[in-house]
Chain A
Amino acid sequence: DGGITQSPKYLFRKEGQNVTLSCEQNLNHDAMYWYRQDPGQGLRLIYYSQIVNDFQKGDIAEGYSVSREKKESFPLTVTSAQKNPTAFYLCASRNIGQGRGSSTDTQYFGPGTRLTVL
């Protein structure tokens, strides 16, 4: 799982509540990503950030929010507007390489947080 930590490992939420998932990396990577994984659907990109204080929506950003106040931290908030939040959430980071196809094109993943709505 490299130098990326996610907490908590398991999270339970009541309907209507906002919850925040933590992601921290000590790899000095520029870019950070949040993915959602559902059974049979692989990974879908929620939000990503390439630099501090800037982030972009991914494919399924509705009902989620993020912040990037520090290089090493990229917390994800699952809001009450997310209609089906039960899923496995994965955070990743990457050092934006100088050249195409460089080894820094790989992403390093955290261990994940499993969110269950009760």
Chain B
Amino acid sequence: SQQGEEDPQALSIQEGENATMNCSYKTSINNLQWYRQNSGRGLVHLILIRSNEREKHSGRLRVTLDTSKKSSSLLITASRAADTASYFCATDGGANSKLTFGKGITLSVRP
């Protein structure tokens, strides 16, 4: 079963704008991770936030986690055409080291 649900399903923005993607989940987690996938390629890990953290930064990425609302958001600032990809959130419940992925968000950044 898929726990993470991303929102929106697709997002199209102009280069230079910020992109905000949301993820909701259903059960308790140890951490939440965001991955990126370019078309036809494998996933690449972007950032991990632990259940006791509220915000984390990595370069142009900012991720927040609200465990009371069971939701997370990923913000990409000053987007570039190269940011065009699919983005997935994945939750780690700590059991058997499995990740549960959402269906993904397709981000298109127009030059």
Contact = CB atoms under 8 A, between A and B. Distances in A.
Given A101-B30, A105-B30, A109-B42, A48 B98 contact: yes
A45 B91 CA distance: 13
A108 B99 CA distance: 12
A44 B101 CA distance: 7
Which interface class (under 10, 10 to 19, 20 to 34, 35 or more) fits B?
20 to 34
Interface in A1-45: 1, 4, 6, 31, 33, 35, 40-45
B18 interface: no
Contacts of A70: none
A85 interface: no
Given A56-B96, A101-B51, A114-B40, A106 B33 contact: yes
B96 A50 contact: yes
**Most B Cβ at <10 Å: residue of A41, A56, A100:** A100
A31 B45 contact: no
Contact of B97 (A58, A94, A112): A94
Please name the 6 residue pairs, one residue from A and one from B, whose CB atoms are nearest each other, closest first: A109-B42, A101-B50, A42-B103, A43-B101, A106-B45, A109-B43
Interface of B: 1-2, 30-31, 33, 35, 40-45, 48, 50-52, 88, 90, 92, 94, 96-104
Interface of A: 1, 4, 6, 31, 33, 35, 40-45, 48, 50, 56, 58-59, 88, 90, 92, 94, 96, 100-101, 103, 105-112, 114
